[in-house]
Structure 1
């Protein structure tokens, strides 16, 4: 969805998140993610280099402050692809942030999508499904919710939501 929104709105900035998970096939360091060892990630946390970071599915992910500053300095709005706890942390630090909760139509569909990727173990999928259930309970804290039941419709709704909040 975010890729499609950015094709329609190339002016929306996107940060490169850091993660402790291993790259999936085809992922390039510094493009989709900046891949870090646990020690490197720990050092970044200790140095206060993250706007937000969280444990997700057995790994850590974080948004470097330097990435956020880089995009905002260009005068563009920023779109972050982060988990629920990360979003809530960003909102605490940046009160003008707009949180949009993207949810699957059902937990069964989420499991089907995760299995369809073929990139995660049964254990990882079970962990992600458990976390998704808890995250859905926090969706009420977000400014908007979009059910990703049809990619084109959900993408159009996300684009419309971004533009509506930008015009306020």
Structure 2
């Protein structure tokens, strides 16, 4: 009887740790380095908010990305894990970049749609690690800044993140 109760407690605690509501962490990638936050709205639906920035001689600034995503488990006959998931979603980004060489007084604001595809692994220590790829386009500025086109990729970004799970 004691073994049964112990086994049930261990199984229940592992199952609860696989389902979390909030996580907060760090991310880095082509779009910059910053903070990331994830909040589950439903068992499969979550809101992902990232704040990233860059600071170089050519370009300084940052942006906020907000996306609604749908999570799915990875089912494979060779590799089965409840902690490994993939997700897809869409959202918006908005930001401000300053180009020191901008002598034409063009807009430094950016705004546009984002599409995301990612994968995440949840460790038992309440840490999750993941990678994602985003496809995006800057609708604003309508007239593209020449230096930003050369130094800032305007259609594709990849990144990695590590988050701490907050129950």
TM-score bracket for this pair, using the shorter chain length: under 0.3
Larger Rg: 2
